[in-house]
A and B are shown apart, each in its own frame.
Chain A
Amino acid sequence: MWRSLVLLTLLLVGGVVLALGALAGAWMAEQDRRGALEDARRQLDAAEAQLRAQAAELLRVAREVATGLSESHSARLRTWIENEPLGLYRDARDPERVDIQAVMDALVAEVRQRGREEAERIQLLGERVEAVATARLEAAMARERAAADARAGRQAEDRRARLMQNLLVLLCGMAVLLALTLAGLVVRPVRRLRAAVDRIAAGDLGTPVPLTRRGAEELAALARAVERMRRRLLELTAGLEAEVRRKTEDLERTLGERTAALAELGATQERLVQAAKMAGLGTLAGGVAHEFNNLLGGILGCLESARAEPLPAAARGDLEVAERTAQRAADLVRALLDVARPGTRALVPVALGRVLDDVLHAAAPSAQRRRIALVREPGPEVTVLGDEGQLHQVALNLVANALQAVDDGERIWVALRAEGGQGVLEVRDEGPGIPPADRARVFEPFFTARPGGTGLGLFVSYGIVERHGGRIEVGEATEGGAVFRVRIPLAAPSPRPPPG
C-alpha cells in the first residue's frame, strides 16, 4: 500500500515539476520571441541606416564621378584650345591667315571624338558605379546576413544553453526527489537501525529496534535480525545480571556474616578483656574485702562486747556510732565479697516483670517526692534464669542511679523484652547521660561521677549479671540521657546449673 502511495506521490511531484518546466519553457520561449522581434527591429534599423549611409556614399561618389567627368572633359578641351598648334590650319589660299573654319572643324572633330570617348567612359563608369554599388550593397547585405547568422547562432546557442539549464534544473529536481525518496526508503531506516545498534552498543537493550515496514525488504529483515539479537542479548544480560546479583548477595551476606563475626569477636574480646579486668578487680577487691571483713568482724565483736559494758551515755553514743559505721563498712566489704565470690545459689526462673514491679514500687516514693516520672513501658512477660534477689539488686541499682542522674520533674523509662534468647531489662533517663570516655569505666569499682557515691553499685551489678551469664551495657538514650541494658538468658525448660 505504502509503495503505491509513494509511487503516486512521486508521479504527482514529477508531473508538477514537468508542468513547471513546461511553463518556464513557454515563458522563456515568449521572451525569446520578443527578444527576436526586438533584435529583428534593431537589425532592420541598422540595415536601413547602413543602406542610407551606402546610398549617401554612392551619391557622393556619383557626384564626384560626375564632377570628375565634367572637369576631365573641360580640361581636355581647354588643353586642346590652349595647345593646339594653329599654324597647322593655314588658309590654303593665304598661308598667312589661319583658316578659322578649319580650326572650327578640327575643334568640332575633337569634340566629337572626345564626346565619343566620353560617352564610352561614362558608360564604363556607370557600369563601374553600378558594379561598385552592387558590390557594396552585396557586401553590406552579406555582412548583415553574416551578422544575422551570427546572431541567430548566438540565439540558438543561448536557447540551447537555456534548454540545457532547464533540463539541468529538472534533473536536479528529480535527483532531489530521488534523494528524498531514497532517504525515506533507505537512509532513514538505515539511520534508525544504526541508532538502534548504537543504543545496543551503549548497553541500552530495553529499547526495541524499530521494525519499519517502509523501504527494502532486506532492511526490514536486517532490522528484525537486529531485534532478535537485541532480545537474545537482553536475555543473556538478564541471566548474567541475576547471576551477578546472586553472587553479589552471597558475597555481601558472607561479608556481613564475617563482619558480624568480627564484630562479635571484637565484642567478645572486649567483654573478655573487661571480664578479665573485672575479674582481676573482683579478686583484688575480694582479697581486700576478706581481710577487711576479718578486721571488721573483730571490730564489731569488740564493739558488741563493749556495748554490753556499762558506759556513760556519751560513750555509749559514740560506741553506737562506731558500731553503725563499722556495720556500713562491713556491708561494703560484703558487697565486694559478693562480686568476688561466685554465687552458690541455684539459678531458677525469675519473672523479671515482678522483680521490676517490686523495684518500681520501692522507688516510687522517692520519685514522687521529686516529681520524677517512672514509666513502665508495656512489654511481654520475660522470665529469665537467675537469682531473684540479685536481679532485684541489679534492677534497683539501675533505677537508683537513674533517679540520682535526673533532675526533678524528668522522666525515667523502664522496659522489658525478649531478644535473641535473652531477657532484656532497659532503663533510660533524661539525665545528662554518660560521656563516651567514661562508659568503659562506669563498671569499675569505686568509679563514680556523683559526689558521695561509693562507686560500687554498677560494679556489683556487673558482677551479678556476669554470674548470670548475661551482659550489661551502657549507651546513650534516644531521649538524651543514659541507657543501661541488662541481658540475662531466658529461662530454659530445664534450669541450667549456676555458672562457675
Chain B
Amino acid sequence: MSPMRPRAPALAALLGLLVAAPLGAEPPGPDCRFEAWVDADALGRYDGLRLGLERARLPRVCRAALGRPPQDDPAAPARLLREALAAGRLDPPVFLVGEEALALARAHAADLPAVYALVRYRAEGAPLAALPAAPGWTGVVAEVDARVVGRLVGEAFPGRTPRVGFAPGSDPEAAARLARAAGLDPVGPQGPLDALLHLTLVPGQGAPDFAAALAAARTRGALLFSDERGRFGQGAAVLLLADEDLLGRQAAEQARRWRAEPGAPPAPRALQALEVWVDLEALDRQGVELPLPFLARADRLRRAPPPGPADGR
C-alpha cells in the first residue's frame, strides 16, 4: 500500500516480514489457474479478489506467493512463476496485492502480465501517484483522500485534542504522508508527548513494530490507530481501512476484462472508500470513550469476548 522504494535492502526486509507467516497455498484443483503475490496487510483485498474471481466464474487462485524469498535468491518466486506459466500449470495474469508484491514483480517479473490492487493516500492537492505502467499490467487503486482521515480523527475527538498514535501497516513514509495530510504532527515513539501524538514507527529493520507502537501509545495514554486490517483485535483501537473486499472484486473484474481482451488491457481504476473499524475492547482497556455517533458510523465494531468460566463470573 505504499509506493515502491528503490532501496533493495529495505524491500528485502519487508518481503521477509511478508513471508514470515506464509499463507497456505490453495489446494490444487481443476479451477486453480492463477497465482497471487499478497502483502501481509492486504489479506482483505485477497479475499475480495477470490470472491470476485468466483463470481466471474474465473479459475481460482492456486497459490499465494507469500513465502519468504530466499535471501540469496529473491528472484525465485518470479522464476517459479515463469516455470509454471511455461508449463501451462497457471494462467496469466499474476495478481499483485499490495505494494511489496508490486515491488517484487517490478524487480523480477516486469515482463509478465499482472493485475494489481493497491491502496494509496493522497494529500490535498497532490496528483495521483504514478500507477504501474508496465506492459500488460492493469489493476485498481483505492486512492484515499488524507483529509478524510483528519475528518474522522476530528469526529472521534470532538471538542478536544486528539491523542492518537498511528501505526502504519507496512510503509512508514506512507503513514507519515497520511499523518501530515490529516494535520497530525509526526513524532517518533521516543519523542516528546505532544498534545497531538502521532506515532510514526520507523523500526530498524524497515518493518513496523506494532507491539512497540501499542506499548508507546498506551504509556502515553493515546489511542492507537492503524490502517492494517490484521491489527483488529490486537490492540489497535481504530482501523482506517479501504474497502478491500470491493478492491479485490474490482481487481478480479480487471482480470476478467484483461483476459477477455488481452491485447488491450483496460486502464486502471481508482476508487475512494474508507472504512472505520472500532475495537471497543481496546477503548475500554484504555478508559477512552469515543462519541456514540462516531461509533454508529463505524463499519465494524468489536467488543471484548464474553468472560469465560475461568473468570469466575
Chain A residues in the interface with B (C-beta under 8 A): 61-62, 64-69, 71-72, 76, 79-80, 83-85, 87-90, 92, 95, 102, 106, 117, 120-121, 124-125, 127-129, 132
Question: Chain B residue with minimal CB distance to A80?
Answer: B246
Residues of B within 8 A of A89 (CB): 55
Say yes or no for B256: interface residue by CB 8 A criterion.
yes
Taking a contact as CB atoms closer than 8 A, the residue among B55, B249, B250, B293 that contacts A64 in the complex is B293
B292 to A71, Cβ gap below 8 A? no
User: A109 CB to closest chain B CB, in angstroms?
Assistant: 10
With a CB–CB cut-off of 8 A, which chain A residues contact B257?
87
Contact with A along B251-281 (1 / 0, CB 8 A): 0110011001000000000010100000010
Cβ-closest 10 pairs across A and B: A68-B296, A85-B253, A64-B293, A65-B296, A88-B55, A88-B56, A68-B297, A124-B301, A87-B253, A68-B293
- Extra inter-chain contacts (16) besides given A71-B297, A83-B243, A85-B52, CB under 8 Å: A65-B295, A67-B296, A68-B292, A68-B296, A72-B297, A72-B299, A79-B273, A84-B249, A88-B56, A88-B253, A89-B55, A92-B57, A124-B303, A128-B280, A129-B292, A132-B289
Given the interface pairs A83-B271, A88-B253, the reply to whether A124 lies near B297 with Cβ below 8 Å is: no
In the complex, A493→B280 CA distance in Å?
Answer: 166
Pairs across A and B, CB under 8 Å, 14 listed: A62-B292, A64-B293, A66-B296, A68-B294, A72-B299, A79-B246, A85-B249, A85-B250, A87-B56, A87-B253, A88-B52, A88-B253, A121-B298, A121-B300
Asked whether, in the complex, the Cβ of B252 is within 8 Å of the Cβ of A85, the reply is yes
Given contacts A84-B249, A88-B249, A128-B280, contact A76 B292 (CB under 8 A): no
When distances are taken between beta carbons in the complex, the residues of chain B under 8 Å from A95 are 260
* A117→B300 contact, CB < 8 A: yes
Centre residue among B260, B292, B294, B301 by max chain A CB count within 10 A: B292
Q: Nearest chain A CB to B232's CB is how many angstroms away?
A: 13
Expressed in whole angstroms, the Cα–Cα distance for A129 and B289 within the complex equals 11
In the complex, residue of chain B having the shortest beta-carbon distance to the beta carbon of A92: B57
Query: Which of A61, A79, A83, A120 contacts B301 (CB under 8 A)?
Result: A120
In the bound assembly, the distance between CA atoms of A427 and B195 in angstroms comes to 144
List of B residues within 8 angstroms of A125 by Cβ: 292, 295-296, 301
Kindly state the interface size class of chain B when it binds its partner: 20 to 34
Q: In the docked arrangement, what's the CA distance between A250 and B267, Å?
A: 163
Across the interface, do B298 and A102 meet the contact criterion of CB distance under 8 Å? no
Give Cα distance in the complex from A121 to B303, angstroms: 10
CB distance from B288 to the nearest CB of A (A): 13
Shortest Cβ distance from residue B239 to the other chain A in the assembled complex, whole angstroms: 15
Q: Which residue of B lies closest to A65 (CB)?
A: B296
> Which of B252, B292, B296, B300 is within 8 Å of A88, CB to CB?
B252
CB contacts under 8 Å to A, within B209-263, are: 243, 246, 249-250, 252-253, 256-257, 260
What is the bound-complex CA distance between A85 and B260, given in angstroms? 15
Q: Whole-angstrom distance between the alpha carbons of A121 and B295 in the complex?
A: 9
Min CB distance A361 to B, Å, is 157
Instruction: Fill in one digit per residue for B53-65: 1 if any A CB lies within 8 Å of its CB, else 0.
Output: 0011100000000
- Picked from B55, B260, B273, the residue with its CB within 8 Å of the CB of A102 is B55
Closest residue of chain A to B296 (Cβ to Cβ) is A68
Contacts of B293 in A (CB 8 A): 61, 64-65, 67-68
**A32–B294 alpha-carbon span in the complex (Å):** 49
Closest residue to B140 on the A side, CB-wise? A85
Residue of B with least CB distance to A89: B55
Min C-beta distance of A93 to chain B, whole Å: 12
Q: Which residues of A contact B298 (CB under 8 A)?
A: 72, 121
Contact partners of B56 in chain A: CB under 8 A: 87-88, 90
Complex Cα gap A359–B246 (Å): 189
Chain A residues contacting B260 (CB-CB under 8 Å) are 95
A127 to B306 CA separation, bound complex (whole angstroms): 13
Q: Which residue of B lies closest to A124 (CB)?
A: B301
- Supposing A68-B297, A72-B299, A128-B280 touch, asked if A61 and B292 sit within 8 A by C-beta, the answer is yes
